[in-house]
A and B are shown apart, each in its own frame.
Chain A
Amino acid sequence: MAKVQKRVWLTFGNRNLVEKPILWRMAREYPNVSFDIRQASVTAEIGIMAVLFEGESGELATALEFLKAQGLTVEPIEKNMIES
């Protein structure tokens, strides 16, 4: 199955999320989905990461859903494309 890549911003919106090893869990759950952190800014209250994910299309989508289910905001690297 061909691999696809996705560039996204992950936002860890509160201290609780910042302090959980959510990416590690995703990697255990979806070992065929790789991730490469290209930029990150993390404080005690909020963390934002620019991440390149790669994997088979269906599994990659499921992995990103897993991150959302943990409470992360997962957005395209363009963030909000829809303007007024």
Chain B
Amino acid sequence: MSYVRGLKCRECGQAYPEKGVHVCETCFGPLEVQYDYAAMRGKVTRESIAGGPRNLWRYRDLLPIHGEPKVGLHSGMTPLKRARNLERVLGVRELYIKDDSANYPTWSYKERVVSVAITKAIELGYDTVGCASTGNLANSVAAHAAEAGLRAFVMIPHDLEQGKVLGSLIFNPTMVRIKGNYDDVNRLCSEIADKYRWAIVNVNLRPFYTEGAKTFGFEIAEQMGWKLPKHTVCPTAGGTILPKIYKGYREFINLGLVEDNQPRIYSAQAAGCNPVVEAIRAGRDLIKPQKPKTIAKSIAIGNPADGFYVVQAVKESGGWGEDATDSEIVEAIKLLARTEGTWTEPAGGTTLAATIKLIESGRIPRDESICVCITGNGLKTVEVVVDQLALPESIAPSLDAFDALMADRGTAVAAVSAV
């Protein structure tokens, strides 16, 4: 049974049927999925969720589909790790890492939004899906479309690095390399989305796509034992995930699935592209567009589509925004790797670096529960750390050479006798 009751404009309230539209025809405000929460009460329970599949579709009652899920049957339910080593380093009592660097099949949180969008695209009768992306979104759309047997168009700037292109090309989408600067490519993609009857997942399917991000928050709550962290720190790029994690928390609270501990949510951005954090600091709701300049390219969006709603969620929750310089981002990537064994991309480094600054500034108390949202995998962005890690010298294949190396390094080595 589906609890979806159509779409509604977030600004003027105009109602729309479920179809591939994303902005209100009257005020151009964004559309959002409406659910019948009253009908869910008593039916959507901890038990009904726990009895579902071990993937993101265990929350399907709170997702905008009617039939069976088509893709994403192995996506979601990523690790929520108690980060005890990091707790000691940072001097905090209770710290968790929600780790979507382990999300299948393309190792980022995008699996969540794309699984929902592609399932919805099939329900709505589309045979072609697409996106404009420089990385994780393209990877995920290409992979899920391949599994679903849909035609996929991936539009990219022509000068994108080969490594980023391969992660999509391997799934055999139709890739369109567009000459021009970022603004040219963006404008053309908007015109393509207008003209062709394709499901551009983050454009005309955006109301459905963004709902998939709620599952990140649902999983945090369920994996913490049906409770919420007091503080959740989340990266902000286009502004999809943060408001939806917060919405997910509020839905669970309103359905009585978790206690309302007044969870606070915090936005993390790179200092070289911080339009949302800048607005939060200035006490503004409106976002001033920026030209990005940061190594955290996966979150370098100068005028985020949902930036306004990030600011609203942060303000409503009592959270805050913090940014991190490129060197702080790299240090945080290395810290997370050496303490918790998780290698994240710069977006994750940004989130951890921002968390550290929020703790040090006293915005996040050291004795309350904290969850750091890791949304992507470091293996896709090796270039940001390749110059930061010294390649060790090589030695001759002899025990003497090894012993000499140990002595050089001052490493205390206990000789072990053969038993």
Contacts and interface: CB of A to CB of B under 8 A. Distances in A.
B332 to A, nearest CB: 18
A29 interface: no
B338 interface: no
Contacts of A13: 288-289
B270 interface: no
B132 interface: yes
B203 A73 contact: no
Contact of B28 (A7, A81, A83): A7
A78 B289 contact: no
A38 interface: yes
From B134, B137, B185, B190, name the one whose CB has the most chain A CB atoms within 10 angstroms: B190
Interface string A16-55: 0000000000000000000000110101011010101000
Interface in B248-278: none
Contacts of B28: 7, 38-39, 50, 52, 77
Contacts, number: 98
B193 A78 contact: yes
B4 interface: no
Interface in B283-318: 284-289, 297-305
B294 to A, nearest CB: 12
Contacts of B299: 84
Nearest to A64: B187
Contact of A83 (B29, B131, B187, B285): B131
Contacts of B298: 84
A7 B191 CA distance: 11
A76 B187 contact: yes
Nearest to B347: A84
B27 A38 contact: yes
Interface in A64-84: 73, 75-84
B133 interface: yes
B403 interface: no
Contacts of A46: 284, 286, 288
Contacts of A81: 132, 186, 189-190, 193, 200, 202-203
A83 B22 contact: no
Contacts of B136: 83-84
A50 B27 CA distance: 7
Interface of B: 11, 22-23, 26-29, 131-137, 155, 157, 182-183, 185-187, 189-190, 193, 200, 202-203, 206, 237-238, 284-289, 297-305, 347, 376
Contact of A78 (B27, B300, B305): B305
A80 B203 contact: no
Contacts of B303: 9, 11, 73, 75, 79-80
Interface of A is mostly: strand
**Which 9 pairs show the lowest CB-CB distances between chains A and B?**
A84-B298, A76-B190, A50-B28, A84-B135, A79-B305, A82-B132, A83-B137, A81-B189, A39-B27
Contacts of A82: 132-134, 155, 157, 182, 185-186, 189
8 contacts: A50-B29, A73-B289, A80-B305, A82-B134, A83-B133, A83-B238, A84-B347, A84-B376
A11 B209 CA distance: 26
Nearest to B306: A79
Given A13-B288, A38-B27, A75-B289, 16 more contacts: A9-B303, A11-B289, A46-B286, A48-B286, A48-B287, A76-B190, A77-B28, A78-B22, A78-B23, A79-B305, A80-B302, A81-B190, A82-B134, A83-B132, A84-B133, A84-B299
A77 to B, nearest CB: 5
A11 B136 CA distance: 29
A7 B27 CA distance: 10
Contacts of A76: 186-187, 190
A41 B23 contact: no
B165 to A, nearest CB: 13
